[in-house]
């Protein structure tokens, strides 16, 4: 059941203050070190952030989707690397287990995921399977009481920190119906982790290759039945896309606030930038698009909590919000002018950070295909 209104308001206030007073002052350090400080990770554990979406019976906060996106909006007030610390535990790394896990699997893993003792990761993307998720080539072959996994995964978030992977692997025929899902502990023999990739943005949030060399995974670790992996993955991504959309809106709101503050202070031709109508136009466009994105996210979350299918709405929210924050970031750089290109102001960092949102958990082009397919299916 959802938190009572007073408790939830206290949670939002606490997260907002934590973002503003604790996390934002550390943004440049995380960028430079490419690492979130260990004391910050521990503080996040103590705040319960790793268990936002996990039911209270397993030690989590049990937030509804509507509550989760409101927390994600607050988390957008700082570099997305901080959210990534626990983001896989809240979303794609745990939700396959939440949705399709057995009681025994949930009892074994969810309390430790909620506490942050176990970091999770979602291993779907491969060198030849990104947006085309149904073309997974990593194979899982049944051998008595185990499945033997062979293959590799690419660009896997938190892979170097993870204790548990949700892995999509082929157990049968080509296409979506031949994919199954598995819980794979990181310490199983034959599982290897590549070096963190050098990235354009979101420093401090690591992505790595994951290699499976004849990894023996207990058959009891399969999620659901054979052939259900693709369906599980798509359900996980529906929820994950909505969460990411909320983060995009939060970052857009941060960028607008920074741009407005700068435009009021910075003077050109004897008057503040904010007095120039072309600057006002950029602010107006940014504010309007961000308000629309926020409304779309909140509405999709409401539908999710009512039990309605949200494949279309989640895709639309992720598509619109991720494209919006990209445009807002670009305008913010323009309003800041030369200062927007300089690292000290932080705008250029956020400009680089938000570019990834249009790619992961389904590119904008994939979202367009999903939106069109679902609209046609529903008859408009």
**Residue positions annotated with a catalytic role:** 361
Mapped onto helix, strand or coil, the DSSP state of residue 379 is: coil
Tokens of 285: 């466009």
Tokens of 284: 């107006």
Q: What's the gap between Cα 165 and its chain centre? A: 16
Tokens of 326: 């990209």
Tokens of 371: 């939106």
The pair phi, psi for residue 227, each rounded to 5°, is 85, -5
8 A C-beta contact, residue 122 and residue 93? yes
8 A C-beta contact, residue 149 and residue 167? yes
Where does the chain show beta strands of DSSP type E?
Answer: 120-123, 139-143, 146-157, 164-170, 179-185, 191-193, 207-218, 222-223, 267-268, 271-272
Mapped onto helix, strand or coil, the DSSP state of residue 241 is: helix
CA–CA gap between residue 207 and residue 195 (Å, rounded) = 8
């Amino acid at each position: 059941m959802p938190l009572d209104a007073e408790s939830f308001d206290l949670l939002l206030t606490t997260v907002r203050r934590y973002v503003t007073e604790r996390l934002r002052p550390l943004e440049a350090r995380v960028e430079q070190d490419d690492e979130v400080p260990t004391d910050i990770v521990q503080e996040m554990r103590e705040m319960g952030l790793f268990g936002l979406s996990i039911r209270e019976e397993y030690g989590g906060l049990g937030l509804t989707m509507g509550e989760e996106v409101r927390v994600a909006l607050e988390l957008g007030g700082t570099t997305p690397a901080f959210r990534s610390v626990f983001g896989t535990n809240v979303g794609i790394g745990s939700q396959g287990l939440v949705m399709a896990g057995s009681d025994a699997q949930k009892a074994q893993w969810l309390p430790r995921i909620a506490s942050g003792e176990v970091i999770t990761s979602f291993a779907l993307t491969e060198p030849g399977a990104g947006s085309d998720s149904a073309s997974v080539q990593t194979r899982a072959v049944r051998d008595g009481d185990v499945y033997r996994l062979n293959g590799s995964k690419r660009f896997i978030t938190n892979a170097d920190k993870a204790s548990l992977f949700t892995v999509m692997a082929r157990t049968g025929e080509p296409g979506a119906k031949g994919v199954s899902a598995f819980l794979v502990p990181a310490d199983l023999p034959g599982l290897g982790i590549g070096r963190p990739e050098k990235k354009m943005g979101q420093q401090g949030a690591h992505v790595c290759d994951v290699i499976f060399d004849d990894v023996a995974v207990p058959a009891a670790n399969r999620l659901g039945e054979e052939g259900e992996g693709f369906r599980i993955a798509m359900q996980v991504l529906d929820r994950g896309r909505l969460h990411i959309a909320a983060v995009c809106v939060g970052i857009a709101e941060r960028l607008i606030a920074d741009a407005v503050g700068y435009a009021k202070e910075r003077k050109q031709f004897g008057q503040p930038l904010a007095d120039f109508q072309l600057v006002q136009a950029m602010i107006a466009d940014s504010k309007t698009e961000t308000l629309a994105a926020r409304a779309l996210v909140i509405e999709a979350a409401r539908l999710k909590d009512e039990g309605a299918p949200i494949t279309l709405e989640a895709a639309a929210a992720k598509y619109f919000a991720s494209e919006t924050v990209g445009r807002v970031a670009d305008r913010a750089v323009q309003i800041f002018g030369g200062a927007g290109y300089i690292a000290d102001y932080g705008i250029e960092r956020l400009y680089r950070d938000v570019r990834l949102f249009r790619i992961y958990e389904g590119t904008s082009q994939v979202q367009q295909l999903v939106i069109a397919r679902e609209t046609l299916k529903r008859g408009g």
